[in-house]
Amino acid sequence: MAGAPVTAAPLARLIEAFHRLPGIGPKSAQRLAYHVLRAPRDEAEALAAALLEVKDRIQLCSVCQNVTERDPCLVCTDDSRDATTICVVEEPLDILAIEKAGGYNGRYHVLHGALSPMDGLGPDQLKIRELLHRLQAADIVEVILATNPNLEGEATSSYLARVLQPLGVRVTRLAHGLPVGADVEYADARTLSRALRHRVTIGPDGDAIVAGSVTIGPDGDAIVPDGATIGANDDPPAPGA
Ligand SMILES: [Zn+2]
């Protein structure tokens, strides 16, 4: 389509450029290109300028590795945030999601990916060295592993737990449970068994006594936090039990 001789070369190039963007199919690429063609010149100029500005002015924060216009970034220089807690995420967008959810007031660290040997992504390709450097340079009490609950994310979380444990820092990971609003009946087996294993004690006010993260041991498995009754090694009941 893009290379069809009926399409003028500059237009074909623009369609091709849009098509290379994630989530843009050939039809959408065509629609976008024709939209730009019909748009006023200043709109096209603003788009081109925005594209270049992102490339020229956005860099990685030398502390947390998040994308930023200013180094160190606004989060790393915000004194109202708890500097002793670091939440480790795979991608910058994960930070936006956690900030939007609210309730977290520590700092972050972006790995820029997850361990995936098949894709050639080992520890050296992620920002792990930078994380270890932060632990040496500052007084960090807790590292929260907030990698994705998939194969790569789990592998990354286990690896980091093994590396971080000897440094005497508390390593926790996000609790994996049932989505809010979901029916137990429709939950998939892995999520349900995990939610059971990481169940929390609730106090008289109906709130969980244990915060929404579990401490993980050197083997990457959840361990029972002080005084809590998380059944980390309990097996989920057999179906129909
Ligand atoms: Zn930063």
The order of strands in the sheet holding 213-215 is 106-110, 82-89, 142-145, 170-174, 213-215
Number of domains present in the structure of the chain = 3
Q: How far is the CA of 153 from the centre of ligand 1 (A)?
A: 22
Asked if residue 91 is part of any domain, the answer here is: yes
For the chain, 241 residues long, give each residue's pLDDT as a single digit of tens.
544 568 899 999 999 999 999 999 999 999 999 999 999 999 999 999 999 999 999 999 999 999 999 999 999 999 999 999 999 999 999 999 999 988 899 999 999 999 998 989 999 999 999 999 999 988 999 999 999 988 999 999 999 999 998 998 999 988 877 777 778 888 888 888 877 877 777 777 776 665 555 676 666 666 654 434 333 344 444 444 3
Q: How far is the CA of 45 from the centre of ligand 1 (A)?
A: 31
My answer on whether 134 and 195 are in the same domain is: no
pTM value surpassing 0.85: no
Count how many Cα atoms sit within 13 Å of the Cα of residue 154 in the half-sphere of its side chain.
8
H-helix or E-strand containing 92?
Answer: helix 92-101
Domain that holds residue 21: 9-57
Q: How far is the CA of 233 from the centre of ligand 1 (A)?
A: 37
My answer on whether 130 and 152 are in the same domain is: yes
Looking at 111, 139, 170, which one is the last position of a domain? 170
My answer on whether 100 and 144 are in the same domain is: yes
Residue (of 148, 241, 236) closest to 193 by Cα position: 236
Q: How far is the CA of 113 from the centre of ligand 1 (A)?
A: 17
CATH number at residue 154: 3.40.1360.10
Q: How far is the CA of 198 from the centre of ligand 1 (A)?
A: 31
My answer on whether 81 and 14 are in the same domain is: no
My answer on whether 93 and 123 are in the same domain is: yes
Q: How far is the CA of 68 from the centre of ligand 1 (A)?
A: 8
My answer on whether 235 and 183 are in the same domain is: yes
My answer on whether 203 and 118 are in the same domain is: no
Q: How far is the CA of 102 from the centre of ligand 1 (A)?
A: 18
Q: How far is the CA of 125 from the centre of ligand 1 (A)?
A: 19
The two structure tokens encoding residue 195: 């939610």
Are the beta carbons of 11 and 2 closer than 8 angstroms?
A: no
My answer on whether 62 and 50 are in the same domain is: no
Pairing mode of beta strands 170-174, 59-60: unpaired
My answer on whether 155 and 65 are in the same domain is: yes
My answer on whether 150 and 189 are in the same domain is: no
My answer on whether 154 and 62 are in the same domain is: yes
Q: How far is the CA of 192 from the centre of ligand 1 (A)?
A: 36
Tell how many helices (H) and how many strands (E) occur in the chain: 7, 7
Q: How far is the CA of 74 from the centre of ligand 1 (A)?
A: 7
